[in-house]
A and B are shown apart, each in its own frame.
Chain A
Amino acid sequence: MTQKNQISTFLLTVCLLLAGCDMIEYHPYDLDIDGETGINEKNIAIIEETGKGRKEFAFAVISDTQRWYDETEDAVEAINRRTDVDFVVHTGDLSDFGAKLEFEKQRDILNRLNVPYVCLLGNHDCLATGKEVFNIIFGEEDFAFTYGNTRFICLNTNALEFDYTDAVPDFTFLSNELASLTPEVEKTVVAMHAAPYSEQFNNNVAPIFHYIIDQFPKLQFCIHGHGHNITVNDFFDDGTLYYQCPCAKKRAYLYFTINENDYTYEVVYY
């Protein structure tokens, strides 16, 4: 072999060895994603299957776990310690910088949950290529699923991230949802990242938004994150409560049970 051949063989070997290695990164915002993708769709299939026919169940809400990996691990462990949680909803902000590594790492931690989970898009998740990474790893930013008799509508409400030019919140999605409700749906829960009247929300349409979601069968309550605190608001003075899940740093998750005639709400510290 000539020296030139030796060098190119050496280079090729190194390339092949390193191509499979996680420590090769082209850019923190590239879309070269390692590991599992399409999480929401897969988990929704499990959620809908296990929920069939149920009128009483429970779910946990976590939110704003960005750059709090240790706390997110503890939340997963705390939820895994109990057997009375049917699924988990993450109301957005998995990442702080919108970087690919953050989504991958959060997914790996959340995958340790014993129960299926879904993730919503937060405003930090929209930074740089964050939304594209979110779409690949988790799925669409507006989605819905049914557990037993309850429809869960999960929405992107981060209008500021889209400079108010995209349909956020997407009323077409909501009206399609309304038009395609199946008979087993008796109740509705709406989940979002940023609540009405936060700086992220398109507040011009806040009352219209609430009016539309109120058209769904027996709207129980709304859940959201973004503010990093525990709050309960009746924004529209009609008795529909918006429960805010705190950030992971506060080491608390929300626990809801949906019962035949009512629901319960609890803040659980870990």
Chain B
Amino acid sequence: MKWFITNLLLCVVLVSARAASSDSLAAPRKWDKRVHLKYKGWERLKPTHAKWQYAGGMGVSSVGVGWDYGKRRQWETDFLIGYLPKKYASKFRLTFTVKQNYIPWSITFADRWVAEPFYCGLYITTIAGEEFWEKEPGRYPNSYYNFSTKIRPYIFVGQRFGVDVPHSLLRNVSFYYEISTCELYLVSKATNKSLSMKDILRISFGAKVYLFRD
């Protein structure tokens, strides 16, 4: 799993570096008004947006920052920190999430409104606490449980709607909702007719603000 995450992160960094170094823009789409900030050098490290998310297996509430990249800024990678309050866990717990989004279409209309009718992606979330393990502890015979209680991969699809705001720091605020599921639920559904889609699908929602107006 560690190997998988390292590789995923490496891919993300490589893709973003490549995208950032490319100066040529894709054939313009009249309705796609996503902004390429064209940051140079160290400025590329500046997050392009911040996000807040409610639910979705990464705690009650999560916040974080992310970077968009690609010729049409169609890729986004986010790093989020969330929490489970004591009420919903035996102790207060923190979660850490890496989220990769692919947003193929962004449609600007009536000057300042933006609709992103479909996007998708995956995220990997991990939770702090000694009752969760990444690999089963040594007391178990080899391959006793064969899964991790700590690290959970999710896939999702979502929709996003936003508006440009006249503000010096913010450029645009958007709200999104996502339908997601994790691998444990998918394998459960695969062999059971009696599990409905409602049993395995989860709804989460959140907000994204673009930072750093040029």
Given known contacts A73-B194, A97-B147, A26 and B57 CB-to-CB distance under 8 angstroms: yes
- Chain A nearest Cβ from B151, distance in angstroms: 12
| Interface flag for B39 (CB, 8 Å) | no
- Is A129 within 8 A of B184, CB to CB? no
- The interface-forming segment of B17-25, B29-37, B82-90 is B82-90
Contact A18 B205 (CB under 8 A): yes
Assess whether A132 is in contact with B90, with CB atoms less than 8 Å apart: yes
Kindly state whether residue B43 has any CB partner on chain A within 8 Å.
no
Report whether B89 and A31 are in contact in the complex, using a CB–CB cutoff of 8 Å: yes
A128 to B141, CA, bound (A): 18
* Cβ contacts under 8 Å, B124 to chain A: none
CB distance from B75 to the nearest CB of A (A): 27
Given known A31-B88, A132-B90, contact A15–B54 (CB-CB < 8 A) = yes
Q: Is B70 an interface residue (CB 8 A)?
A: no
Identify which of A18, A70, A102, A163 contacts B194 (C-beta below 8 A): A70
With A27-B127, A28-B152, A97-B149 known to touch, is A22 a contact of B195 (CB < 8 Å)?
no
- What is the CA–CA distance of A100 and B192 in the complex, to the nearest angstrom? 17
Interface residues of B in 170-213 (CB under 8 A from A): 173, 175, 182, 184-185, 187-188, 191-195, 198-205
B92 within 8 Å of A by Cβ?
Answer: no
> Taking the complex as formed, is B139 at the interface, i.e. its CB lies under 8 A from any CB of chain A?
yes
Residue of B nearest to A14 (CB): B205
Candidates A22, A29, A32; contact of B149 at CB < 8 Å: A29
Shortest CB-to-CB span from A218 to chain B, Å, is: 37
Cβ contact within 8 Å between A32 and B88: yes
The answer for the CA separation of A27 and B188 in the assembled complex, in Å, is 17
Contacts of A15 in B (CB 8 A): 54
Give chain A interface residues in 143-172, CB to chain B under 8 Å.
160, 163
For A100, the closest partner residue in chain B by CB is B88
Of chain B, the residue at the smallest CB distance from A74 is B194
Q: Mark B102-146, 1 if CB is under 8 A from A, else 0.
A: 000000000000000000000000010001100001011100010
Give the shortest distance, in Å, between B140 (CB) and chain A (any CB).
Answer: 7
Contacts of B191 in A (CB 8 A): 67-68, 70
B140–A129 touching, CB < 8 Å: no
> What's the Cα separation between A97 and B54 when bound, in Å?
24
For A22, A26, A67, A132, the residue with the greatest tally of chain B CB atoms inside 10 Å of its CB is A26
Contact of A127 with B188 in the complex, beta carbons under 8 Å: no
Q: Which of A15, A23, A69 has the most CB of B within 10 A?
A: A23
Interface residues of A in 107-160 (CB under 8 A from B): 109, 124, 127-129, 132, 160
Give the distance in Å from the alpha carbon of A96 to the alpha carbon of B147 in the complex.
Answer: 10
Collect the chain A residues with CB atoms within 8 Å of residue B194's CB: 69-70, 73, 109
Q: Report whether A24 and B88 are in contact in the complex, using a CB–CB cutoff of 8 Å.
A: no
Cα distance, A264 to B58, chains bound together (Å): 51
Cβ-neighbour of A30 out of B84, B185, B192, B193 (below 8 A):
B84
Q: Are A30 and B89 in contact (CB under 8 A)?
A: yes
Chain B residues, Cβ within 8 Å of A128: 131-132, 149
A85 on interface, CB distance cutoff 8 Å: no
Contacts A25-B202, A69-B192 given; indicate if A129 touches B55 (C-beta within 8 A): no
- Which single residue of chain B is at the shortest CB-CB distance from A99? B184
Measured CB to CB, the residues of B under 8 A from A are: 54-60, 84, 87-90, 93, 95, 127, 131-132, 137, 139-141, 145, 147, 149, 152, 173, 175, 182, 184-185, 187-188, 191-195, 198-205
Sample of 7 A–B contacts (CB below 8 Å): A7-B173, A27-B84, A31-B88, A99-B184, A160-B140, A163-B139, A199-B141
- For the complex of A and B, the 9 pairs showing the least CB-CB separation, nearest first, are A128-B149, A69-B192, A30-B88, A23-B203, A69-B194, A32-B88, A25-B202, A24-B55, A26-B60
Q: Knowing that A7-B173, A24-B54, A70-B194 are A-B contacts, what are 11 other residue pairs whose CB atoms are under 8 Å apart, sorted by A's residue number?
A: A18-B55, A24-B204, A27-B88, A28-B152, A28-B182, A30-B89, A31-B88, A70-B193, A101-B188, A101-B199, A128-B131
